[in-house]
Chains A and B, each alone.
Chain A
Amino acid sequence: MSSSGVELPTRSGVPPAVKETSISPRKRRRVRSVGRELWWLILPGAAVYLYVVVVPTFQGLQGAFTDWSFGTVGAPNFTGLENFTRIFSTDAGPAVFRTLQLAFVVVVAQNIIGLALALLLNGRVFGRNMLRTIVFAPMVVSSLVVGYLFKYIFGPPGVGGVNQVLAALGQQPVDFLGNPTTAMVIIIVTVLWQSIGGNMIIYLAGLQGVPAELEEAAAIDGAGYWTRFWFVVRPLLAPAITINLMLGLIGGLKIFDQIFALTNGGPGNQTQTIATLIYTYFSQYADYGRSAALALLLAIGIAILSIIQFSVLRRQERNS
């Protein structure tokens, strides 16, 4: 019913009032519950998920409190918190710090560069579709393959691609992966090269939801590019920022493939993170209990940091 009292036709041509009265309450209930009777269709998927994810997760959880290893014959013994105390009496402390450091740098850089690329490729740029594809392409390559490629690109003098270019230009070689500082930088560069496309796509999707008339109105009011970005575009991008920061933090805390391929935690343990340490405990020491304990700690750590970050970002989103 319109305010003028005239019945306005809907797109289907049926007045709303007529449409509403023609559906009985019983029918409405049925419309709302469409598919409910088909819930059993998820059973095969649920069973696979249960077998592949849920059961191993609980087994791992249980294993974290036992002496489970390759050498275990029969059921492992309950050892309480021994695995946890062992972890922190050895080399996990520096690895935790390094993991946080790496995650922070990766998240910040991913979002700044991803947003910059999205802003650039959202405008009228020649060949923008091709450029978007090129930036996104590394996302579809296996992280391990990317890691090994970069290992050769930044390989030692005489072997690595970059060092051969430097040699051809008459420059001094650089020990990219043999020096702990540069090795960490190369890990970050590798991760960013591969993941920035994903951030860019999420920001692009957000930018395409920003109404052009809002920007135009702000421009007419005399707002410059940065003012428009900060006061018009940025608040509307808040959901995209939340998603990117959340995914970035979770991914950043568990980066493994690139480190494994590039440095394997070396040189001298200086690029070892929690994820690579979990692998070392599991695969090299065959100490499954200790590995599960560290994985459990990582999962709890990620959950806590994610919840904090999510609540802060949601509050900011609402304020925006």
Chain B
Amino acid sequence: MKILNRVVTAAVATLTAISLAGCAGSTGSTSATNQTDGGEPSGTLTGLFSSYFKDTYEQIAADFKKKYPKVDVKFDYQGGDVGQLVMTQLQGGTAPDILTSFPGGTIKDPADTVAHLSSTGRIAPIEAPWTKDVPDAWKPSVNYQDKTYAYPGALQPLAGIYNKTKLDELGLKIPTTVDETYQLCTAAKDKGIYAYALGLGDPAGPQMLTYAQLATLEPDPVKFDADMAAGKAKYTDSVWVKQFEIYKKMGDLGCFGEGALGRSSDQAVQEVAKGTALATVSVGAVLGQVQKAAPGNSFKVAPMPATNNAADTKVVALPGFVNTINAKAKNPTAAQAFLEFMGEAEPSAIYAKGFASVPVLPNDAYKAPEELATFAELIKSGSYAPLGTVQAEVQTQLNQTIQSLILGDATPRQVAEKLDAVYKK
């Protein structure tokens, strides 16, 4: 009996030790095995992407398999916040070979961004011919210390997406100045509808209008970011306050309709598709959803004015999601081959179409559709602005306090003060 007890005690102790060791070592347990067959990619390639773009990735994966038949592509798709899942998987050592990440970011801000992931060695540099073709303007979004860490995909507008059919039916026009924006709100209200359906009830919904208008208000977002990091600038002393004032005025004028703070982004899209609202302010990828919901209507993407000089107006262009390679990928060869393939003309055009956006890499196979024609022209003429870097905690605070602003619980300046309070220098 004593012997049995000792054996069992030892077994329990061993199990405990194994469990503890398993937990402690989980982040570094994945081995990077190079599954090559005479240099030709083979084996299983895994990836994680947003479920909104499943069709696009599946189409690219199918074409990739035609080129590399020995690779078995197994992609997963996640609805909701894909960035959080990537971070959790990286933390747990269970992340796939190809990741969905966000462009730019800062080293200090722990987020699923290229800057942070590359500086902490969580993603691997990409070795593909297209890396030398990344335009200078977008290098900070995908590069770190002169190496390219992300496939930049395509430039999406962050702008107003208007139901052109409804606007024409009511005899209204897309505004080109901020005063015209206010007038559109009043005119829409007079006709029993409202102008802008925003996903103000979503965690990341309120920020859209702010970012869309900052493109015009902030002349040099890169310098502003650098000044913020150096402690030379503050949100309270910046043009952000001006944007919050516009936001407040738009809210007071009823631009966002009844029950705006309870509306999700999906519901906002439905409102624009139905013609209950004239427009939403979001990323270009939403265009596909709204077109799908109202195939008989025509839609137009246009920048959100923030001043009364139409010539000042710029559109925000951003490579929404980017794709990166897990530094501990089980099949790095196939992962490198896949991202190299994505940069080719045809897959790049499929990607741009799926994301309702314009390719970042020069691409002869791409022709902008009519609804993106204005955006493509603005990009071509240089009338665009990249999105500045916003830290994760600042962004969460921004979304929460804009809701307070619309509720009347905070002033534009108080919103900016909240952002300053959580900014990490």
Contacts and interface: CB of A to CB of B under 8 A. Distances in A.
Given A70-B111, A158-B276, A286-B392, A265 B400 contact: yes
10 contacts: A46-B12, A70-B87, A156-B259, A266-B261, A266-B400, A268-B261, A268-B400, A283-B81, A284-B396, A285-B396
B56 to A, nearest CB: 26
A276 to B, nearest CB: 11
Contacts of A287: 110, 393
B398 to A, nearest CB: 12
Interface in A23-67: 40, 43, 46-47, 50-51, 55-56, 59
Interface string B84-107: 100100110000000000000000
Interface of B: 8, 11-12, 15-16, 19-20, 22-23, 81, 84, 87, 90-91, 108-111, 116, 120-121, 200-203, 257-264, 267, 270-271, 274, 276, 392-393, 396, 400-401, 403-404, 406-407, 409-410, 422
A280 interface: yes
Contacts of B202: 264
Contact of A156 (B12, B111, B267, B407): B267
B84 A47 contact: no
Given A69-B110, A280-B396, A285-B393, A50 B263 contact: no
Which of A72, A157, A175 gathers most chain B CB within 10 Å?
Answer: A157
Contacts of B261: 175, 177-179, 266-268
B111 A286 contact: yes
Chain A contact residues: helix, strand, loop or mixed: loop
Given A55-B20, A70-B91, A156-B263, A269 B400 contact: yes
A115 interface: no
B392 A47 contact: no
Given A55-B20, A70-B91, A267-B403, 12 more contacts: A40-B8, A69-B110, A70-B110, A151-B264, A157-B257, A173-B258, A265-B400, A266-B400, A267-B262, A267-B407, A283-B84, A286-B392
Contacts of A59: 23
A180 B407 contact: yes
Contacts of B259: 155-157, 160, 163, 173-178
Which 7 A-B residue pairings sit nearest by Cβ, starting from the closest? A156-B259, A177-B262, A71-B110, A178-B261, A268-B404, A178-B262, A70-B110
For this complex, into which size category does the number of interface residues on chain A fall? 35 or more
A55 B19 CA distance: 8
A59 B202 CA distance: 32
A270 B7 CA distance: 56
Given A267-B262, A268-B401, A268-B407, A51 B201 contact: no
B406 to A, nearest CB: 8
A314 B337 CA distance: 67
A178 B404 contact: no
A159 B203 contact: no
Given A50-B16, A268-B410, A284-B396, A178 B87 contact: no
A286 B203 CA distance: 15
A110 to B, nearest CB: 25
B201 A177 contact: yes
B14 to A, nearest CB: 10
Contacts of B276: 158
A50 B276 CA distance: 55
A258 interface: no
A40 B404 CA distance: 57
